[in-house]
A and B are shown apart, each in its own frame.
Chain A
């Protein structure tokens, strides 16, 4: 007797294709046991509380565990996104992708109400041709960027201006397997480009919920632009549920100008001011800001002219791999 094929069992577990299978299932223990487990999975999935997010585990509890196990201090201090971690065993851990892989809140981020809506909006949006699918920031990265073996957090990164820290260069090369997968998926490129952007946002939105310990989500060098020598670096850090930008910058004191920190979208059309900057400093990001939409860190030179707009005089820039 031949067994039901896995696709059929899957659809049965999901409640499709019930006709004609009962006879076999009644007489075949293997298939019915298989189906039982798949149904248990589907039942669990369909009853997920989509609004639930498990909180970060209490730090003091980890301290108790580490103490009971007498762990070495290095491990007991845990990971900060830069330190030696399990994910860090990969040859060149992508700064944005690796930490969330382990620290995303157990309840799926996109299940939270707002991201879920966004995700479904994304699904709907890609049903129409991309030209009509809304602004690029919602439609996700250009198609050629989405040979979708890339992790979503990176697939969601808009095309990077070539810069000293273009993050795409830093990730591990795709293996043959993922390349094979990539070609299979290429046909779905448009769909995925839309989805990838949306989920990248969901990931970023969820980052703030995962941990109380400061954790580097992404970082970039700030490279001087034409005619400027201003250089430094910026780290996007998640701390106590909020995102902040830690900037390390060599700012020369000046009395008739000041410097201002901005986040821009990749086209430079949209910008959010994070305020004046006097050198090294920590700048809180407005809650709810979708960093994936504003990945470019920009430092401008501003006059004391009372005009809150960007002067157009950018001195230094870098792009966060979010």
Chain B
């Protein structure tokens, strides 16, 4: 969440793409807990959650050349893999609603998984926003302040607040939408 984050992330992503196992380890440290929790919430047993978490990182590493930083952030990509693994596992366990059939129900279940993933990814990305931007976005999210109210509260020009909101939201959005395009 530090301002140095961008540089550090670039290093991480470059290392990851270059096959530097330390970068995989760094990604594990940063997002392994989140992925694991996501799997644990979505799957019935600890063993399932651990298997899926393991598969996510193993697959991500083996398929790292498919990760395109232009399309989205690394955690979003990892979550895309995790979501597919979770859904596959649920289907294999016959836990998915009506595995044989009703597409609406399946879509609802998938949507719920997607929402959980979105929340975790946005929370993670929010924590990593530059400090000033994050504060402004949090005021808009959690205190429901308008940009005018935020500007007044922080004694900042309106344009500054708008710009932080726009760029902050763009970053958060980038944290969740990659799996759509990949």
Please list the residues of chain A having a beta carbon within 8 angstroms of any beta carbon in chain B. 6-7, 10-11, 13-14, 16, 37-38, 40-50, 52, 54-58, 61-62, 64-65, 68-69, 71-72, 74-76, 78-79, 83-90, 94, 97-98, 100-111, 119-120, 123-124, 126-127, 148-153, 155, 171-172, 185, 188, 191-192, 195-196, 199, 203, 210-211
Contact = CB atoms under 8 A, between A and B. Distances in A.
Given A65-B28, A151-B3, A155-B131, A87 B140 contact: no
A72 B21 contact: yes
Contacts of A71: 21, 24
Contact of B29 (A48, A89, A102, A110): A102
Given A86-B22, A103-B29, A11 B165 contact: yes
B42 interface: no
Contacts of A101: 1-2, 4-5, 8-9, 30, 128
B119 to A, nearest CB: 5
Nearest to A101: B8
B162 interface: yes
A149 B12 contact: no
B169 A10 contact: yes
A61 B1 contact: no
Nearest to A190: B155
A41 B176 contact: yes
Main SS class of interface, A: helix
Interface string B114-139: 01001111111011101110110111
Contact of A61 (B9, B53, B121, B142): B53
B135 A195 contact: yes
Nearest to B143: A120
A89 B30 contact: no
A69 B61 contact: yes
Contacts of A41: 118, 122, 169, 172-173, 176-177
29 contacts: A7-B165, A10-B162, A14-B140, A40-B176, A41-B118, A45-B137, A46-B141, A46-B142, A57-B33, A58-B50, A61-B53, A65-B54, A68-B58, A69-B58, A69-B62, A74-B21, A74-B22, A75-B22, A78-B29, A79-B29, A89-B15, A101-B5, A104-B127, A107-B34, A109-B1, A119-B138, A151-B2, A152-B3, A191-B154
Nearest to A111: B123
Interface hub of A72, A85, A111 (most chain B Cβ within 10 A): A85
Nearest to B129: A108
Contacts, number: 261
Interface of B: 1-5, 7-9, 11-12, 14-16, 20-37, 50, 53-54, 57-58, 61-62, 115, 118-124, 126-128, 130-132, 134-135, 137-143, 146-147, 153-156, 160, 162-163, 165-166, 169-170, 172-173, 176-177
B166 to A, nearest CB: 4
Given A13-B169, A56-B32, A69-B58, 9 more contacts: A49-B123, A54-B36, A69-B62, A75-B21, A78-B29, A100-B1, A109-B1, A152-B1, A152-B130
B115 A86 contact: no
Given A40-B118, A61-B36, A195-B135, A123 B15 contact: no
A92 to B, nearest CB: 11
A151 B3 CA distance: 4
B33 A55 contact: yes
Given A7-B162, A14-B165, A86-B11, A100 B2 contact: yes
A153 B2 contact: yes
